[in-house]
Amino acid sequence: METGLFTSRAAAVPVGVSAVLHLLAFVVEGFSAFAGTMFVVGLVYLAIAYGLRQGRRWLAWISFFIMLAGMIAAYSTAGSGLHFWWWTAIAVADLIAAAILFGALWKSKPVAA
């Protein structure tokens, strides 16, 4: 079992935080089609967090790129006021997840016992 900060299991936490923020996007966006899309993205992020929690290394590779893209999308969506802080929080959670995943993937593959 992997231990330490730079593991796919550790990355599940910021991915989960980002998922919850996506699921609650209707708080700042209202009940719109965009908020509905963000809800679906939040469900996908929850599934990713669950898979990372299981230690799926192949999912860590995919998640790394998804988190980078999500960070860019969230930051570019940030408007002003509450919108800015909400989308910046999502961008920061995605950035932290990507950084942890980068560290996990940079290490050599764990040896199976």
Token pair of 7 as six digits? 């593991």
Asked if residues 11 and 97 have their Cβ atoms less than 8 Å apart, the reply is: yes
Q: Which comes out higher in pLDDT, residue 110 or 50?
A: 50
Mean pLDDT of 45-56: 92
Residue 92 has pLDDT above 80, yes or no: yes
91-107 b/e (C-beta count within 10 Å ≥ 16 → b): bbbbbbbbbbbeebbee
Residue keyed to tokens 């860019």? 72
Q: How far apart are CA 95 and CA 112, in angstroms?
A: 29
Residue 31 has pLDDT above 90, yes or no: no
Mean pLDDT of 72-80: 81
Mean pLDDT of 65-92: 87
Token pair of 56 as six digits? 């799926």
Sign of CA dihedral 25, 35, 39, 61: negative
Residue keyed to tokens 């990713």? 48
Token pair of 60 as six digits? 């860590």
Q: Which comes out higher in pLDDT, residue 33 or 7?
A: 33
